[in-house]
Amino acid sequence: MTGPGQFHLGSLKPASGSTRRGHYLGRGRSSGHGKTSGRGIKGQMARTGADRRPGFSGGNIPMMMRIPKRGFVSPFKVDYRIINVAQLAEVFSAGAEAGPEAMREKGLISSVRPGVKVLGSGEIKVALKVSAHGFSGEARRKIEAAGGTCTMLEGRGGR
């Protein structure tokens, strides 16, 4: 039984104007798709069942095989969000806790994923409690010299 606001799956229709009728192939010259039905004359693509995989180059060595391959890309590499100590000093006041969420709220980073790393570019004079997923040696030295602390967070950010 159906009531107000209910429907049958069999009554669903596509939105008006969202579908077009298909081409009628092989129905005479005046249709524009007669005789060879838009397939041209002879050749691989004129045959039934014709299909070429992506990257197929007509029997030549495919482009992806011709391009030289060098080096190695680790699937485990993490591209951290980068913050410099000078940016932290500008935004946070003395004694503040500067964690990834606080950095995101202040607009320093767009997301806490895949993690936050603090680098040592610039100067910092305020003592902050900084927590992040990574610190450079210079950043750790500058933060601690200003009277702050560095706390390493486990794992990747926001997971």
Q: What are the residues facing 131 on neighbouring strands? A: 151
Q: Residue 142 and residue 121: Cα distance in Å, rounded?
A: 10
pTM over 0.75: no
Local structure of residue 52 (DSSP, 8 states)? -
- For residue 76, the one-letter residue type is F
Domains detected in the chain? 25-71 (no CATH), 81-152 (3.100.10.10)
Of the candidates 110, 112, 108, the one whose C-alpha atom is nearest the C-alpha of residue 84 is: 108
* Alpha carbons 69 and 145: distance in angstroms, whole number: 46
Structure tokens at 57: 């180059």
Q: What is the pLDDT along the chain (159 residues), one digit of tens a residue?
A: 556 667 788 889 999 999 999 889 999 999 889 999 999 999 888 999 988 888 888 889 999 999 999 999 899 888 899 999 999 999 999 999 999 999 999 999 998 888 999 999 999 999 999 999 999 999 999 999 999 999 999 876 544
Alpha-carbon gap, residue 136 to 24, rounded angstroms:
67
